[in-house]
Amino acid sequence: MKLKDRISIVTGASSGIGRGIALEFAKEGAKVVVADVREEPKCGKYYEREPRPPTTQEIQDLGGQGMFVKTDVSHEQEIRSLVEQTIERYGGLDILVNNAGLNLTGTTQDLEVWDWDKVLNVNLRALFLSTKFSVPHLIRSEFGRIIHIASVHFSGGGSGPAYASSKAAVINLARDTSLEVGQYGVTVNALCPGFIETPSQDYMTPEMIEADRKRTLLPRLGLPKDIGRAAVFLASDDAEWITGASLVVDGGYIAAI
């Protein structure tokens, strides 16, 4: 097992990519703190349409250890409490995965200012806060890891001004934090998913999904497990000399750019 007994926090882990990461971590022996605004997995109109058990229940069914902490990452105190509860329960922290995200589509003309602020609060400010509260514990770990979930949209637009801008900023946040914590052996990296089959795609039309399928070079769209396995790699000893990097996991979606 690549992550045996390592203590991890995964935000937005009840559904979608976060759930995929949490389950892959559990399979590799990690203790997983599932942080989300709701414990029940979301059901989408295109993907993950059937009800499923909570992530922590699936972790326990796999023989692993997991704990759910209700967390709204747009609130500073809830992030602080998430880290505190993790330390209280497990006695430390080895891996922080900042996955929780929000996308409100629109142009600069029809996106309201408070919508912009809401997206940036979840997609960027929350990552700063969770990093801030986690670093004192990660630097005490022999295996300290921070993994931010960005997007292929870090390299260009196409998903709204707030989302694309926030994901570009996430890449540089990872780089900047890597300079801060490298001396302690803590690595900080970002994963950039392409189209992944999750309920977060509900805002799309079938025509939009088909266009993304055609743009993806490999013969299928991505699954949460694909990002989960990449996260396992970055969290494991195999990636102990990789930091300040961004890994694109997109089936070739942006290869032609």
Tell me the per-residue pLDDT of 90-142, one tens digit each, with 9 for 90 and over. Answer: 999 999 999 999 999 889 999 999 999 999 999 999 999 999 999 999 999 99
Residues 32, 25: Cα–Cα separation, whole Å: 7
Partner residues linked to 145 by β-bridges:
95, 187
In a domain, 99, yes or no: yes
In a domain, 236, yes or no: yes
CATH number at residue 88: 3.40.50.720
Q: Give the contacts of 179 (CB within 8 A, at least 6 positions apart).
A: 244
Mean pLDDT, the chain, integer: 96
Distances (CA, A) of 108 to 112, 125, 165, 200, 229: 8, 20, 12, 22, 36
Average pLDDT of 66-82?
A: 98
Q: What is the domain range of residue 14?
A: 7-249
Structural domain total, the chain = 1
State the pLDDT at residue 6: 98
Residues 189, 182: Cα–Cα separation, whole Å: 12
Distances (CA, A) of 118 to 68, 101, 169: 24, 10, 15
Q: What is the DSSP letter of 13?
A: -
Distances (CA, A) of 49 to 72, 126, 143: 24, 28, 36
In a domain, 178, yes or no: yes
In a domain, 255, yes or no: no
Strands 187-193 and 95-98: unpaired
Residues marked active site are found at 163
Give all strands of the β-sheet with 65-70 in edge-to-edge order: 65-70, 31-36, 7-11, 95-98, 145-149, 187-193, 246-249
Tell me the per-residue pLDDT of 146-182, one tens digit each, with 9 for 90 and over. Answer: 999 999 999 887 788 999 999 999 999 999 999 999 9
Return the ∠ at Cα 96 (arms to 201 and 197), rounded to 5°: 15
In a domain, 128, yes or no: yes
Residues 171, 169: Cα–Cα separation, whole Å: 5
| Percentage of the chain lying above the pLDDT 90 cut | 95
In a domain, 110, yes or no: yes
In a domain, 49, yes or no: yes
Alpha-carbon dihedral angle through residues 150, 155, 160, 166, given to the nearest 10 degrees:
40
In a domain, 257, yes or no: no
Residues 146, 133: Cα–Cα separation, whole Å: 12
* pTM of the model as a whole: 0.97
Closest CA to 149 of 86, 234, 66, 64: 234
* Number of other residues whose CB lies within 10 A of the CB of residue 201: 20
State the pLDDT at residue 179: 98
